Amino acid sequence: MIAAPNRRPSRLPALREKLLDVSYPAVAVAVLLAGWELWVRLTHQPRYIMVPFSDVITACWDGRGQLLHHTWVTTLESIYGFALAAAIGIPLAFAIVSLRPVQKGIFPLVVVYHVIPTIAIAPLLSTWFGFGLTPKLLIVANFAFFPIMLNTIIGLRSTQPLQVQLFRVTGANTWQTFWKLRMPNALPQIFVGLKIASTLAVIGAVVAEYVSASAGLGYYVLLANGNLDTKSLMTGVVYLSILGSLFFGAMQIIERVATPWHLSQRSPIGR
């Protein structure tokens, strides 16, 4: 039980606790993977139902040439869409925060727009923009845009009133207050949004490729599914997971460079 009243924070076994925190999940993962491997091998599952874990890893390495090609396509779609989402989301958040009509008129509409399943209009984008890059980056932007906008709004609104008053007392104008106080203050929260959006961008690219594509990891996964080729499907998922983690990691590095002062306050989970 967590936070039981009689559990005092003991000093000495801190290292032991840390070790347990690492070893428990490690054991759980090992048991899971071993169970997967043994279950498939011992019960002789058909290859279209499930393949052993070791086969998936081998296939990841063996098929790397083709898989990296597809990964590159998905990467480009994700990056372009992500950039578009940031280019729309951040200025829109500025507008929502600073202009009252936009805040009262546009923001509720954007929230409702977010609640409706916009994935459903993905096929329409193919009708409008063909089968190339454009519809895909629009779908990606559609996925990634909302967390960026929302977190930028939260960040810009979270400025301490006392700090604003201090700026006013020292004679700073609106522009200076924005660039020297509000913006730096909002940056950590903006990065929270960008990090969320970075993983959503990859997922958006996959969905876009489900709808129509001739290359990319989503296409690869769907093709493998059509061929009942579960091994290829799993390798596609592994590559996608790595791609998503790389995106997230890249955002984390950019965050560290952009907001070095904030590192100490941040929680380790990277929220």
Partner 1 sequence: MSFWTAPRSGSRLRMLSIGRASNVLYPVFFFVLFMSIWEIWVRAAHVSKVILPPPSAIAKQLGIFDQLWPDLWVTLQRIIEGFLLAAVVGFVLAIGIVTFRPFARSVFPVLIATQVIPKLAIAPLFLIWFGYGGWSTILIVFLLAFFPIVINTVLGLRTIEVEKMYLARSVGAGWIATFLRIRLPNALPSVFGGLKLAALLAVNGAVVAEFISSTSGIGHVILGAAGDNDIVRLFVAVGYLSLGGLLIFLVMEIAERYSIPWHVSRRDYVSVAPPANSRAL
Footprint of partner 1 on 54-73 (CB under 8 A): none
State which of residues 237, 254, 259, 266 lies at the interface with partner 1 (CB under 8 A). 237
State which of residues 12, 15, 42, 120 lies at the interface with partner 1 (CB under 8 A). 120
Smallest distance, Å, CB 38 to partner 1? 18
Of residues 75 and 126, the one with the C-beta less far from partner 1: 126
State which of residues 225, 252, 259, 266 lies at the interface with partner 1 (CB under 8 A). 225
Of residues 58 and 177, the one with the C-beta less far from partner 1: 177
State which of residues 88, 106, 133, 172 lies at the interface with partner 1 (CB under 8 A). 106
Q: Would residue 212 be called left, alpha or beta, if left means φ above 0 and alpha means ψ between -120 and 50 degrees?
A: beta
DSSP state of 264: G
By the rule CB under 8 A, 142 interacts with partner 1? no
Contacts with partner 1 in 4-33 (CB under 8 A)?
4-5, 20-21, 24-25, 27-29, 32
As a whole number of Å, the end-to-end CA separation of the chain is 24
Q: Are 74 and 205 in contact (CB under 8 A)?
A: yes
Any long-range contacts for 228-234 (C-beta under 8 Å, 24+ apart)?
A: 228/48, 229/48, 230/47, 230/48, 230/49, 230/50, 230/51, 231/47, 231/51, 231/55, 231/56, 231/59, 232/59, 232/63, 234/51, 234/56, 234/59
By the rule CB under 8 A, 228 interacts with partner 1? yes
Contacts with partner 1 in 146-205 (CB under 8 A)?
146-147, 150-151, 154, 156-157, 159, 161, 164, 174, 192-193, 195-196, 199-200, 202-203
State which of residues 93, 97, 137, 213 lies at the interface with partner 1 (CB under 8 A). 97
With a CB cutoff of 8 Å and minimum separation 6, the contacts of 202 are: 74, 78, 240, 243, 244, 247
By the rule CB under 8 A, 87 interacts with partner 1? no
- Count of residues touching partner 1 (by CB under 8 A): 85
Closest CA to 93 of 148, 162, 149, 37: 149
Taking CA atoms, 208 is separated from 119, 132, 161, 218, in Å, by 9, 11, 43, 8
Smallest distance, Å, CB 73 to partner 1? 15
